[in-house]
Structure 1
Amino acid sequence: MLTSYRRTGGSTFRRSIKGSSKPTTGSRRTRNVGDTTSLGGGLAGGGADGVVGDVTIGAIGKQDPVAALSAICSEIADRAAREQRDLLPKELLAFQKAAELIANERAGEIFAGDASSSSIGDLLTADAPAEFGIGNSILDAVSKVTDYVRNAVSTLGFDAVRGKLSPAVGLFIGDVFVYLKEGEIRQKIRAEVRGMLTKAHEAAKAGRGPLVIVGHSMGGVILVDMLTNPGASQLPADLSVDALLTVGSQPGFFATLDLLAPNPPNGSPRRRPDCVKNWLNVFDPIDPLAFRTDMIFEDAEDFAFNSVTGIIEAHSKYFQRPQFYARSRKRLRELKVL
């Protein structure tokens, strides 16, 4: 998915299109392994020995409240999607409460005391009108996340889901070949992206806020490919991107295969696009379709986004977690983009 943002005061406008660090050169890798900065929150291991003993969500919340709280909210959103409905008022309030706590470094409050499903639900809906109650959907979400934790930390988990994962990987590879092959479909994709980028660029020039672009999965690859050589992509000559976020994406991997556009002459073909001031690459360590970039591209920064979920779900969960928005906003403020 590719998303372009422009901000006006407190509002954010978004448009999206959905697409479906160095690999081995000596010891260099693009896979999501090794030491990186954390975007904030997560389960990168368990205790000091990397083993998680108690896998209830309450226990996980005491270890890493941000990741646990985000996982609960993601399951709340998933349930609404499965039931083909909007979030209920109590569910929306719980999500908003979680985002506020994460932004204010207070996520641990939800997992104080016994951290049972009911106590977590009570705290998430503490500010809701009495008639809303906790609701079965919130209690069910708190309980169900424990299953995801067990899947994520189990060494048997990958073998159990391999058959389900393979079709998803196949579809992704199909999307890659469609984009990389010169032809009408590739040009249509680039034209759509070009239109969105141009519109957002014009809004930024008009003083309506910084230009922050987000690309998920193949959307991030397309963005890096086009922004690396904006002239060949027919983008505005004065295009200036304040921040590029690639999320669960693969530009590092495809760059090492020489499948992306090289930088213009007289420069390294492995540097951050010249029109991009800041590049943050966010990945979940258990996302099989997410790759690092900082060992391939100069001036790209990788941020681990560890979450409580299963291997199959990891690739699509980034934007359902309040920690993604709270932590990304914090990083952008540190860079003085926002």
Structure 2
Amino acid sequence: MTCFRIDESGYTGFDLLNADQRWQGASAIAISDDDAACLIKAHFPRLQAAELKYRALSRRKANHPRLLGLMKDLLSEFDCVTYVADKRFMLTLMFVDFAAEPFYFERGIDFYEDGQNYALASLLHMAGPVLLGETALADLMAAFQHAMKEKSPDSLQQLVAAARATNWQQMPEALGPLAKYADRDCLSAIATPGVSTDLAFVVLTSLITRMEVMAKGAYRVEHDQSKNLSTYHDLLQRYIDHDEEVEFRATEITSLRFPLKLTEVTQVDSKNSPAVQLADVMIGAAIESANTLTGSRSNGLDPEALMPLYRDDQFIHMLPNIDFEEQRRFRSGSQGGKAIDYLASKIVGEPD
């Protein structure tokens, strides 16, 4: 049975405004421990550490050619996928999904059709600081994150006040439901028990859509025993346990069908799993490249050398994009709204 090893990076729970960790992501790779051990030995024959750790290796520039060589072998020889998201943009996308979409839904508008939610979130994220006021928009996103966590009447009132403190008339499509109407449907959606700004659910769903395509039959997942991955573990088990027959189209290249081909998820000690260590290398390289490209870090792997190694179907990114026509084509016919409602109630909302 195929086994995908996965690892994550940048997990900060509900806090998507963490200044030190702007990116969150995960990688999955179908490789055996024997093959992984051979690759590690081939590229790092003098490794003395108990396990291969990307962060430790990337600090030394002398290791960069070896890391790039290892990544080239992994991406060319094995089924794998990496997902990376800009957490601040994802918070903006969630704001649109919860603080605007319910308002339009009640008026018969499918806000997910053709990626309208994605387009509006991209515009809000990129133009919002200028149109709405940089500080006011930052305060709004902080208030939204707080309200999604606390779900108290006071936090909801603070959110409405924060929306009204912006120049919301410049973007009424995104902020009007809260700032003008204090819309009850939007506030109710934000106050829904069980929903939060935690991205683990989003990251896993993206990985699963690709693993389901890559796996020819039933497959399983192994991951490290880290505290962060315990959340991923619980969600994966819920995905496995869900046996209703249903399918949703997300984009022109992705869909999600239940029951999954995924049958088992287990935790292992990464020190004893060379394959899990390579999953760490994959996501570590991707996150470091994102930080380098945005000027947050330096002295890591050269992104211009790394990124061409990926095929289009090996790298999923969630970034703002204001090429609206391209996004409309890519997301045409999306059942994102139905999928979100279904997964929120059937997977995230399922009792332990």
| Same fold per superposition (TM over 0.5) | no
TM-score range, shorter chain: under 0.3
Q: Which has the higher contact order (CA 8 A, sep 6+)?
A: 2
Task: Provide TM-score, normalisation by structure 2.
Answer: 0.24
Task: Provide TM-score, normalisation by structure 1.
Answer: 0.25
Between Structure 1 and Structure 2, which shows a larger proportion of helix residues?
2
